[in-house]
Chains A and B, each alone.
Chain A
Amino acid sequence: MTNIQIEPNYKFKTASVGCFLRLPLNQKNLALANVLCVMQSNASLLYPGVSLQAKALEEKYDSQLEIFPQVFGNQIIIFYSLNFIEPREILNPDYNYAEIIKMFLGIIKKPLFNPSLLYLAKSQLSSVRAQYLDIPSNYALNRFFEYWYRNESQYKDNMFGDMEVIKNCTIEQIKSFFDNLKTYPAVCLGLVENPDMMTDLLQEQLDWPGFFRSFDTDELTIPAHFAPFTKNEEGEHGQTQLLMGFGYDASLPLDLRQFGGLILSQYLAGDESSKLFTSIREDLGAAYAIEVNNLLDDSLLLISAGIDKDKLLATKAKINQSIREVAKGNIDKTLFKRAQNALKRTYQSNEDQESLLLMQLLANTLRGRSLTIEERIKKVVNFTPEKLTRFAQSLFLNESYCLQ
Chain B
Amino acid sequence: MFTRAYPSGFKAKVIQRPNFYKKFMGIIVDFGGSDPQSLSGGAHFLEHKLYAKKTGDISQKIEALNATTNTFTSYNETMFYVEFLEHWRQVLPLLFELVGTTHFTQENIAKEAKIISQELAMYQDDPSWQVTHDLLGKMFPKSKLAEDLTGTQTSLQEMTPQILSEIYQKNYYSGNLEFVACGGFSDNQAKSILREVGKLQKQYFRNEKKQRIAEQAFTATTEKESKIAGNVTIPLVGVGIKLPSFETLNSNLTKGQLQILIEMMLEARLGSSSNWFENSQKSGLVDIPLSISVTYTRQGNFAIISGSTHNPGDLVTQIKQQIKFGRIVASNFDLQKKNFISNSIRELDQVENLAIEEAEYSLDNESRSKLYQKIQTLSFSEFCEVYEEIVAKSDIFTTILESENEK
Contact = CB atoms under 8 A, between A and B. Distances in A.
Interface string A46-87: 000111001100110110000000000000000000000100
Contacts of A62: 338-339, 342-343
Interface string B153-183: 0000000000000000000000000000000
B115 to A, nearest CB: 6
A169 interface: no
A233 interface: no
B233 A288 contact: no
A89 B344 CA distance: 11
Nearest to B331: A55
A230 interface: no
Nearest to A136: B125
B278 A351 contact: no
Interface residues of A, number: 57
B314 interface: no
A12 B335 CA distance: 23
B348 interface: yes
Interface stretch (A179-187, A254-262, A342-350, A382-390): A342-350
Nearest to B346: A14
Given A130-B233, A134-B233, A354-B349, A272 B60 contact: yes
B282 A127 contact: no
B85 interface: yes
Contacts of B341: 61
Interface string A219-245: 000000000000000011111000000
Interface string A260-298: 000000000001110000000110011111000000000
Nearest to A235: B231
B84 interface: yes
B273 interface: yes
B20 A134 contact: no
A123 B124 contact: no
A58 B116 contact: no
B125 A237 contact: yes
Given A131-B308, A238-B121, A285-B114, A50 B281 contact: yes
Nearest to B126: A135
A13 B345 contact: yes
B287 interface: yes
Going nearest first, the 7 A-B pairs with the smallest beta carbon separation are A285-B114, A238-B121, A54-B273, A62-B342, A130-B233, A288-B119, A127-B287
Interface of B: 18-22, 51, 57, 59-60, 63-64, 66, 68-69, 83-85, 111, 114-122, 124-127, 231-234, 272-275, 277-278, 281-282, 284, 287-288, 308, 335, 338-339, 341-343, 345-346, 348-349, 351
8 contacts: A11-B18, A58-B273, A59-B335, A126-B287, A235-B231, A238-B124, A352-B21, A352-B349
Given A62-B338, A349-B85, 16 more contacts: A50-B277, A61-B338, A120-B287, A123-B287, A126-B287, A127-B288, A131-B233, A238-B120, A238-B122, A271-B59, A272-B60, A272-B63, A282-B57, A289-B122, A308-B114, A338-B63
